[in-house]
Amino acid sequence: MTGFLVRRLLQAVVVIIGVIAIMFVLIHLIPGGEARSVLGPRAQPIAIAQFNRANGLNLPLWDQFARYIWNVAHFNLGRSVTQNQTVIALIGQALPKTLVLVGLATLLAIIIAIPLGVYQVVRRNKPEDYILTGFTFVLYAMPAFLLGTLLILWFAIYLPIFSTEASQADTVLGILSDPRAMVLPVVTLAAISIASFSRYMRSSMMETMTEDFIRTARAKGAAPRRVLFVHGLRNAIIPIITLVGLSLGTIVSGAVITESVFNYPGMGLLAVNSAFRDDIPTLLGVTFVVTIATILGNLMADILYAVVDPRIRYAKS
Amino acid sequence: MGLQGKRSFRPSEPLSDTLPKKGRAMRIVRTLGVAGVTFTTMALMLVSTGGTTAGASSIPTGGTKVAGGTVRWAEPPSTPPTYIFPFMSPQESSVSNISQFQYMMYRPLYMFGSPQKNSPTLNPTLSLASLPQYASGDTGATIGLKTYKWSDGETVTANDVLFFMNMLHSESANWFDYVPGYFPDNVKSVTVNSPSSLTFDFTKSVDPTWMTYNEFGQITPFPAAWDVTAAGAAAGSGGCSTGAYGAASTDAACAKVWTYLTGLASDLTSYATNPTWGIVDGPYTIAASKGGSFSPSGQVLLVPNTSYSGPQKATVKVQELPFTTDDAEFNALVGGALDDGYLPQQDVTSAASNATSGGKNNPRLSKFYLTPWILFGFNYAVPKFESTGDGGNAGAILKQAYFRQAMQSMVDQPTMISKFLKGYGVPTYGPVPVLPQNDFVDKFEQSNPFPYNPSHAKSLLTSHGWKVTPNGTDTCQKAGSAKGDCGAGIPKGAQANFTMAYASGTAWQKQVVQVEQSAWDSIGIKTALVANTFHTVVSTYAPPCASGTPCTEELGWWGGGWEYSPDYYPSGETLFSTDAGSNASNYTNGNADSLITATTDTNVSLSKYEDYLSKQLPVLWEPNADYEISEIANNLRGVAPQNPFANLFPEYWYFVKS
């Protein structure tokens, strides 16, 4: 396992540098200069020259890239060119918000989707299964902005139970201390994930329940509940672990639509606004953090495979 | 300053784009063909008369005043204030930072616009100084300061003005409004006569109005306590507020002070707690010691500065609230979480019956009244005269005034405003805004020199050697630069075929360019539309083409337009004079240059300049959306009409009993 981890970590470093390199080149291929884009149509040549000097944009691209990698290695992601803050400070404001929102939504989705998927298998091809399948399809097909807006309309305006916007606190504790404000955004985001996770769970569980070892367990007289949850669920859950592992990148990159609708400026909006404003340092910084999260998510999923399924032994492979 | 802080029509707003179907655009074009003249006439009548019409919202008056309270004010989407030091580079210059944040704490020497008026003129009452007294053939001016106090008890003195001027001289490259050759290059000396008087000597004679509006309008006095290079240092120890203007030693001292202050300004978390920023001469402060606050995420609490020396002391607090999008802001508005916000264009339910007073409000906002907020600016698309596109033909064709006039004659602005902006917009007929009502614009420009007129457009082309092929592509038949020829540099057989880039993400802008494309196509001028982000269009079309370098751009419209602030006088020296830094089209015309110089150097009216430029079309005039459609609580008084330079005057705001 140790050798596996070391190999994966070394691969991760290569992947991170590769992703930054690709992003760096792609961003610099955008037509027009960053200076004019940031400074606007009034900017005089002298201001543009000053901006380029101050941000190292007058240097060759390879030199800019080398300096960026060097700075990143020293935990310096640079300074936003539009928001007068360091990129780390901006990510520090946005990331906790996103982790709370998407983390809670993912957790809620898992808690609801797994039993839902199992229940649908137990009641497969029965009215309950059809109803739940239809309901999850509706949720899955519903855009987040529509669901979010409808929830606001029903539960914040017509029935003023919750607030129209998510918590406006800047810290995790502050956000969690206002749970009423987080209900609608978490439900909006979870609803779509529930639909997806439960469909995966249902199909995986159905496949598992036809396996030979399930038949053997039943033949040996194991109770139906034990067959379902101990033999079936443990094997069927592996695809869900993959999904959740891969979703770590999504958790960090945020849910831009939900963040927009509920006035909750997290990582998704930070990335989108940076892209639209040609705020290259921020865009690169967000990409860097999301890349790390995606790699970590994959790594965690690989490790969890081994925990859940003893047949998988990475050290031997 | 640019319009990056526009509240309801954010150029880069991708989530609110309600893209029109092409079929709809075509239907609209056909409708325009039939009803164009009628609409034009009707809309023009509305725009020019400015009278009230049934259905328009009215501004509530009266009521029993309630002492105190907090006004919850919506910031533009994703544009919170991020810079406090009122000496910033273009990077930090925005409506959110200057007009709606800094000016409430640090008052400029001359304030423009008035509370509850949309007149774009100097406001002597709210200015820190009396009007400049020009002398010596307008080669110098003396400014007398009124008795204003900083919140630390010090008086606002002539040295505080000199402090700004010395900083500007030292760090002009870091001043957002610096244009080489103008302020402060045109200032020979600044002499402090007394604590309340100082004299400026210029390098040449100037037009007093231009000088006061465009140059002195940039000045914001700094307190002596800012003239330091380290925390705790004695006020004035930096040497920038007392040194001789223009001296190398003063420049060096100011550079150190600038470095220190910009360093402080880069720490947003300390804005409310750093005593430096707590020294204000405006009606408000964010100092935590006075109950104010500032969060880097954009939540700002401005509290009254009890020692403000101006004519009106503030009574209400102002809570500036950040929003991710205008949809989120609208939800907050409907939910009653705001007192002063804005109606997103997509939520307008009833067309404006009048440009200045708007129309019926959205029925979900019964607790608010609606009022359009029009800024003193204009909108334009850029034809690149030095374009090397199509083998250089594109630039050569766009360089021809008659050709631009033909194109402009196909742009039916009043109808576009009526249809795509539901009346919440202002047409652009020249370099001087026709609205808000002002004394700078003349009758000729207001009359719309190029009304929608396809036959006039066609005749302009045919009379200059073009074979017009409606819905085909026009070709030049008579090469040459004599009268009746296509024009210099246009070979026989050259085709009227262009690429037009526009900023995506704003529904009305897309609709406008699609209608323009169809209208031009109807007289054989082909345009291929290319959508790009606002910032990409700005970065590719705003820079003038450099001599000797390929310049493939042809036509571009980023949609943000131009606002006259802090160059409050609508003269064109930075926009349309030869080689000006913001002359995006590379327009060059000796007569225009002379007229522009006359407006800056001599005391003449703008009429000749604006009439000439209106006809010359150095750019294509485009419709300009209102800055915002404001929604103000029915029990909040003193807000509207609003300032045409986007400034806020909350010291005049108050609540009344509901």
CA angle at B84 for the pair B83 and B88, rounded to the nearest 5°: 65
Query: What confidence category does residue A3 fall into, taking pLDDT thresholds of 50, 70 and 90?
Result: confident
Omega of the bond leading into B641 within 30 degrees of 0 (cis): yes
Task: Tell me which of B259, B331, B382, B557 to substitute to probe the interface with A (most A C-beta atoms closer than 10 Å).
Answer: B331
CA angle at B649 for the pair B648 and B654, rounded to the nearest 5°: 120
The per-residue pLDDT of chain B, averaged, comes to 88
pLDDT at A75: 87
pLDDT at B547: 81
pLDDT at B539: 86
In chain B, the residue whose alpha carbon lies closest to the alpha carbon of A156 is B335
pLDDT tens for A56-69 read 888 888 899 899 88
Highest mean pLDDT among A2-6, A236-240, B130-134: B130-134
Q: What is the mean pLDDT of residues A107-136?
A: 90
Question: Which one, of B340, B343, B568, lies nearest residue B436 by Cα?
Answer: B568
> Rounded to whole angstroms, how far apart are CA atoms B24 and B418?
15
Shortest alpha-carbon distance between residue A41 and chain B (Å):
5
- 3-state secondary structure (DSSP) of residue B300: strand
**Which chain B residues contact residue A30 at CB under 8 A?**
536
Q: Does A85 touch chain B (CB under 8 A)?
A: yes
Q: Is residue B614 scored above 80 in pLDDT?
A: yes
Residues 6+ apart with CB under 8 A from B41: none
DSSP-derived pairing of the beta strands B197-202 and B140-144: antiparallel
pLDDT at B54: 37
Q: Which residues 119-158 of A are in CB contact (within 8 Å) with B? A: 145, 149, 152, 156-157
Give the lowest-confidence range in A33-47, A176-190, B267-281, B468-482: A33-47
pLDDT at A304: 78
> Rounded to whole angstroms, how far apart are CA atoms B538 and B521?
25
Q: Is residue A291 scored above 50 in pLDDT?
A: yes
Q: Is residue A21 scored above 60 in pLDDT?
A: yes
pLDDT tens for A261-275 read 898 988 988 988 888
Q: Tell me how far the alpha carbon of residue B165 is from its chain's centroid.
A: 24
Q: What percent of chain B stands above pLDDT 70?
A: 91
Shortest alpha-carbon distance between residue A183 and chain B (Å):
16
Q: Is A264 in contact with A97 (CB distance < 8 Å)?
A: yes
Distinct helix (H) and strand (E) counts, chain A: 16, 0
Q: Is residue A44 scored above 90 in pLDDT?
A: no
Check residue B213 and report its DSSP letter: I
Contact B1 A42 (CB under 8 A): yes
Task: Tell me which of B183, B535, B567, B622 to substitute to probe the interface with A (most A C-beta atoms closer than 10 Å).
Answer: B535
pLDDT tens for A158-208 read 888 998 889 988 888 989 998 999 999 999 989 888 888 888 889 899 889
Q: Is residue B447 scored above 90 in pLDDT?
A: yes
Q: What is the mean pLDDT of residues B334-356?
A: 91
Q: What is the mean pLDDT of residues B283-306?
A: 95
In chain B, the residue whose alpha carbon lies closest to the alpha carbon of A44 is B581
> Rounded to whole angstroms, how far apart are CA atoms B581 and B569?
18
Burial (CB count <10 Å: 0-12, 13-18, 19+), residue B263:
exposed
**Which chain B residues contact residue A37 at CB under 8 A?**
535-536, 538-539
Residues 6+ apart with CB under 8 A from B594: none
Contact B328 A263 (CB under 8 A): yes
Q: Which residues 335-394 of B are in CB contact (within 8 Å) with A? A: 335, 337
Shortest alpha-carbon distance between residue A269 and chain B (Å):
8
pLDDT tens for B513-547 read 999 999 999 999 999 999 988 888 888 898 898 88
pLDDT at B29: 33
**Which chain A residues contact residue B78 at CB under 8 A?**
265, 269, 273
Q: Tell me how far the alpha carbon of residue A294 is from its chain's centroid.
A: 8
pLDDT at A6: 83
Question: Which one, of A308, A216, A301, A285, lies nearest residue A77 by Cα?
Answer: A285
- Annotate B409-435 with b (16+ C-beta within 10 A) or e (fewer): bbbbbbbbbbbbbbbbbbbbbbbbbbb
In chain A, the residue whose alpha carbon lies closest to the alpha carbon of B557 is A41
Question: Which one, of B555, B377, B557, lies nearest residue B3 by Cα?
Answer: B377
Place of tokens 């470095």: B259
User: Chains A, B: CB contacts under 8 A, how many?
Assistant: 167
Tell which wins on pLDDT, B435 or B251: B251
Q: Which residues 539-558 of B are in CB contact (within 8 Å) with A? A: 539-540, 542-543, 558
**Which chain B residues contact residue A273 at CB under 8 A?**
12, 78
- Specify the pTM: 0.85
Q: Is B11 in contact with B78 (CB distance < 8 Å)?
A: no
Query: What confidence category does residue A314 fall into, taking pLDDT thresholds of 50, 70 and 90?
Result: low
- 3-state secondary structure (DSSP) of residue A81: coil
Q: Tell me how far the alpha carbon of residue A45 is from its chain's centroid.
A: 41
Place of tokens 């009359």: B447
Shortest alpha-carbon distance between residue B493 and chain A (Å):
31
pLDDT at B57: 57
> Rounded to whole angstroms, how far apart are CA atoms A223 and A201?
21
In chain A, the residue whose alpha carbon lies closest to the alpha carbon of B575 is A42
pLDDT at B8: 40
pLDDT at A125: 87
pLDDT tens for B153-166 read 999 999 999 999 99
Q: Is A193 in contact with A139 (CB distance < 8 Å)?
A: no
Give the lowest-confidence range in A173-187, B16-30, B487-501: B16-30
Question: Which residue in the set A38, A170, A261 is minimally distant from B328, CB to CB?
Answer: A261
Question: Which residue in the set B299, B335, B560 is minimally distant from A168, CB to CB?
Answer: B299
Check residue B545 and report its DSSP letter: P
Contact A40 B329 (CB under 8 A): no
How would DSSP label each residue in B38-96? HHHHHHHHHHHH----TT---------EE---EEEEEEEET------SS---GGG--TT
Q: Which amino acid is at A246?
A: L
pLDDT tens for B378-391 read 999 999 999 998 88
Task: Tell me which of B1, B91, B329, B364 to substitute to probe the interface with A (most A C-beta atoms closer than 10 Å).
Answer: B91
Q: Which residues 253-282 of A are in CB contact (within 8 Å) with B? A: 257, 259-265, 269, 272-273, 275-278
> Rounded to whole angstroms, how far apart are CA atoms B44 and B398?
28
Query: What confidence category does residue B505 fall into, taking pLDDT thresholds of 50, 70 and 90?
Result: confident
Contact B173 A50 (CB under 8 A): yes
Give the lowest-confidence range in B13-22, B325-334, B424-433: B13-22
Q: Is residue B251 scored above 80 in pLDDT?
A: yes
pLDDT at B15: 28
Task: Give the torsion sign (CA, B498, B501, B505, B507).
Answer: negative
Q: Is residue B16 scored above 50 in pLDDT?
A: no
Contact A261 B543 (CB under 8 A): no
Query: What confidence category does residue A229 fall into, taking pLDDT thresholds of 50, 70 and 90?
Result: confident
Q: Is residue B639 scored above 60 in pLDDT?
A: yes
